[in-house]
Amino acid sequence: MARDQSSERACNRRGGSDRPHAQRGQDARGQGREVRPAGDLIEGRRAVVEALDAGIPLRRAFVAKASGDEDPILDKLVKRLEGRGVECERVPKARLDAMSSHGAHQGVVVRVRPFAYAGLPDVVAAAGTGDALVVVLDHVTDEGNFGAIVRTAEVVGAAGVVIANARAATVGVGAYKTSAGAVLHIPIAQVPNLSRAIDDLKAAGFWVCAATEHAEEDVWHAPMGGRLALVMGSEGSGISRLVLERCDFSCRLPQRGRVESLNVAQAATVLCYEWLRRECQGSEDAQ
């Protein structure tokens, strides 16, 4: 497979479908309570203010009914939510208690809008036909690591991020925060089969690199430029055998210290910037 060394960059960003809506179930007392995807609720006044400041897309707010005493702080927060187009519903405190994960909702719980994931074709389209970077995450489960990787990918100008649709971190409140909102500015594709997705990326002209500490070649000598799909493994077991077999080559980070390795988010940052460094160097050489 020949590498495409042109410098064309694509800026097409969003796409995909909504996540399923919450369903209803029964709690231990047999009363109806909401069964919802993890991470789609924000509770507490400070947390809601932080979500507004961060630009997290909010869908609906549930606010405690007035108990007779005025609550100017809560009223001010409600006005700010309504000013952002968020529908606010006054509900009994008991309902907020049932929705809360820790009971410290302070009279307000807000639901985040379902995230619109891209499809793999959207990521390929964003990559255009020239040099591009796609980050593939093989079941990274920590939402903080996931958000940090997405932030790095967006900052270096990657075309997209590819994740599995099961047993992997998804775009929730934590990812919005740790990515500093980057999840809104780069296509994130959920796929049912990572191995098949890698085959599709190869068909689109990408070379696939596995980041693993067991690689013989270090990042400084590996072919990290051009049209590259970078595969990062999970926090516990790294890259799975089936995914690793699909990769064209592997690389590791050189190290002199005693600690076994960097975590997946730190390693992804180093590797993404090595790709960017070579892209910048290639542009300078071309001039």
Which of 72, 90, 112 is at the close of a domain? Answer: 112
Domain membership of residue 280 (yes or no) is: yes
Same domain assignment for residues 149 and 245: yes
**Strand ranges in the chain using DSSP code E only, listed in sequence order:** 23-26, 32-35, 41-43, 58-64, 87-91, 108-112, 132-138, 160-164, 188-191, 207-211, 227-233, 249-251
Domain membership of residue 11 (yes or no) is: no
Could you tell me the two tokens for 169?
């971190």
Which of 112, 134, 162 is at the close of a domain? Answer: 112
Same domain assignment for residues 249 and 152: yes
Residue 173 has a pLDDT of 86
Domain membership of residue 8 (yes or no) is: no
Same domain assignment for residues 279 and 160: yes
Domain membership of residue 16 (yes or no) is: no
For the segment 247-271, what is each residue's pLDDT rounded down to a tens digit? 999 999 998 888 877 899 999 999 9
Same domain assignment for residues 158 and 78: no
Amino acid at 15: G
Same domain assignment for residues 30 and 162: no
Domain membership of residue 2 (yes or no) is: no
DSSP-derived pairing of the beta strands 132-138 and 160-164: parallel
Same domain assignment for residues 166 and 271: yes
* 143-156 and 264-286 helices, crossing angle to 10°: 10
Domain membership of residue 12 (yes or no) is: no
Q: Tell me the C-alpha to C-alpha distance, in Å, between residue 67 and each of 5, 63, 70.
A: 66, 12, 8
Residue 35 belongs to domain with CATH number: 3.30.1330.30
Residue 146 has a pLDDT of 97
Residue 235 belongs to domain with CATH number: 3.40.1280.10
Residue 75 has a pLDDT of 93
Same domain assignment for residues 131 and 196: yes
For the chain, how many structural domains are there in total? 2
Residue 22 has a pLDDT of 31
Report, as ranges of residue numbers, the positions in the chain whose pLDDT lies below 50. Answer: 1-38
Domain membership of residue 13 (yes or no) is: no
Provide the residue range defining the domain that includes 207: 120-286
Same domain assignment for residues 85 and 157: no
Whether the Cβ atoms of residue 166 and residue 143 lie closer than 8 Å to each other: no
Same domain assignment for residues 256 and 129: yes
Whether the Cβ atoms of residue 115 and residue 170 lie closer than 8 Å to each other: yes
Which of 62, 96, 112 is at the close of a domain? Answer: 112
Residue 67 has a pLDDT of 75
Residue 74 has a pLDDT of 94
